Amino acid sequence: MGILRRSRPAEGSAGPAADELAADELVSDGSEPDPDELDAATPEADEVEGPVGPTGRPLHPIGAYFEAAFRRFGINFGGYLLYTAACGLLPLGAALGVSAVAWPESLELFVFFLAFTLGNVLLIALTTALVSGGARDRLRPLIVTCAATGLLGAVLATFHPVIAVVFYPLIVFPPIAAASGDAAGLQAILVGAATAKRWFRRTYACMLGIAIVSVSVWFGFTILLSPLEDELQKRVAFIITALLVWPVSALVFRNLYGDVTGRLVINASPKEDQRRKEIMRRRRAKAKRNRERIKKVTGE
């Protein structure tokens, strides 16, 4: 299957954070990549058209981010669902809390959006920390980044949810930058904004893909849950959509950030290609043996 691997660092541009961020994405058997295989999977910049990352390596297509995200989600489906459910307790608790208290509508919306954004931001930081490691050493600045980002998202969503969606990269990149050790605290918001500006087209292409996935999942479960009451149907469909889309979105933007910063390379599944070739070789050998047996039996 496809894998995420380290890119080749530019001279003088390595660092512990770069090695940490790639630690989780080695070959499935835990071994380091074969240098010959890595060279074959990362063509030179003059051989491939398209934007080039900071290490001089051509960036991967948008679809590769989604393919790697779905694959990683499928490998650890139960784990990511558990992480998402744990982070989703924040908006669930906020929704139950505001419904039990007679608050002004604007305040109710702000509290719910704050909890919703914080849950999403925490999941994004967690998925990045699973790869980068060292979360304990960066825990305090990471908490500051998540709190500030959650507050920013709540303010934008309170004005209008569409505004929060448009500026979602300002919410998604800061916790990734903080968890990977590129920035700490409020500085991570500036790093996230700079990343979104520098890679504007790629960022919003990923946004479009996430929107398509979200609408498709929501629409499918809305139809599937049509026997339920209208209000219950909408709520259950929304919860299921969040459980499935949140981790995919976090993984997609984690892949995007890793690619444009030169940390991760999404290879063209060399192990899968080798496996297919080995299967075809065995089939040809088996067919050859069968033909030889037929010749012995028939005497031809």
Q: How confident is the model at residue 7 (pLDDT cuts 50, 70, 90)?
A: very low
* pLDDT tens-digit readout, 127-145: 888 877 766 777 888 888 8
Quote the pLDDT of residue 210. 93
Quote the pLDDT of residue 102. 72
Of the candidates 4, 7, 2, 12, which has an alpha carbon nearest to the alpha carbon of residue 52? 7
**For residues 15 and 32, what is the distance between their CA atoms, to the nearest angstrom?**
18
Helices (H), 53-199: 62-75, 77-100, 105-132, 139-159, 161-166, 169-179, 187-198
Quote the pLDDT of residue 36. 43
Q: What does the angle CA 116 – CA 119 – CA 122 come to, to the nearest 5 degrees? A: 145
DSSP assignment of 187-254 equals HHHHHHHHHHHHTHHHHHHHHHHHHHHHHHHHHHHHHHTTTS-HHHHHHHHHHHHHHHHHHHHHHHHH
Q: How confident is the model at residue 268 (pLDDT cuts 50, 70, 90)?
A: very low
Tell me the domain boundaries of the chain.
Answer: 4-271
**For residues 12 and 216, what is the distance between their CA atoms, to the nearest angstrom?**
45
Global confidence as pTM: 0.68
Of the two residues 277 and 181, the one the predictor is more confident about is 181
| Averaged pLDDT score across all residues of the chain | 77
Q: Is the pLDDT of residue 190 over 60?
A: yes
Quote the pLDDT of residue 30. 42
Quote the pLDDT of residue 264. 60
> Across 11-15, 60-64, 193-197, which has the greatest mean pLDDT?
193-197
* pLDDT tens-digit readout, 62-118: 888 898 889 889 888 888 999 999 998 988 888 888 777 777 778 888 888 899 999
Which conformational region is residue 8 in: left (phi greater than 0), alpha (psi within -120 to 50 degrees), or beta? beta
Q: Are 168 and 207 in contact (CB under 8 A)?
A: yes
* pLDDT tens-digit readout, 227-250: 888 888 888 998 899 999 999 999
Section 37-64 average pLDDT? 60
Quote the pLDDT of residue 59. 79
Per-residue CA distances from 259 to 32, 184, 219 (Å): 19, 20, 31
